[in-house]
Amino acid sequence: MDGTAHDIRVRPGSPADAPAVVDMLDSAVAWMNDRGNTEQWGTTPYSQKPGGVARVERYMTENTPYIAELDGVPAGAAVLDSGPSPQMPIAPAGGPERYVRLLVSDRRHAGKGIGAALLAHAAEETRRAGVKLLRVDCWAGGGGELVAFYERNGFVPTERFLSGTWPGQVLARRVG
């Protein structure tokens, strides 16, 4: 392993980062599909999905984006908001929270702790804002590997949900 969490620098994202984030999403779809996972994000590259690029551009302007860099090159992204997406069947927490709307890493850097570094940064930003709850939702299919990733990073599963036929899991992490 040639990269460690110590090589990763997390900085605020900007609209200029949108093309790199779209590329990361496209590579994640291809990587999942190569491993037989066509359910989590489908088979269409994010850049070709109707509204996909515009959604990333909104994330970079309307939410709070962060970019993880490895050796000065964008290698991952996280987007924080004040609650879950209104398009998802997830109730707000009922109090102040920060919500991870997007977490993606460049698959060329898999296993180098980029996702974990972004989640640690999200927890620190949540704490710094005086908010005690950080939540995220994820795909709960495929044997639960993604849920387990969030659990390894300090999150606890709360409620499960369905978005159409897509099985999801909400997870929470107390900070502060």
pLDDT tens digits, one per residue of 25-76:
999 999 889 888 888 888 999 999 999 999 999 999 999 999 999 989 999 9
Place of tokens 């987007």: 79
Name the nearest CA neighbour of 43 among 55, 31, 58, 57: 31
Token digits of residue 50 = 């109707």
* Global pTM value: 0.92
Report the C-alpha gap between 130 and 145 in whole angstroms.
31
Amino acid at 32: M
More confident residue, 39 or 97: 97
CB 41 within 8 A of CB 29: yes
Name the nearest CA neighbour of 120 among 153, 79, 167: 153
Checking if the pLDDT of 135 tops 90, the result is yes
Report the C-alpha gap between 82 and 165 in whole angstroms.
26
Residue 147's CB is within 10 A of a number of other CB atoms, namely: 20
Question: Is residue 5 very low, low, confident or very high in pLDDT (cuts 50, 70, 90)?
Answer: very low
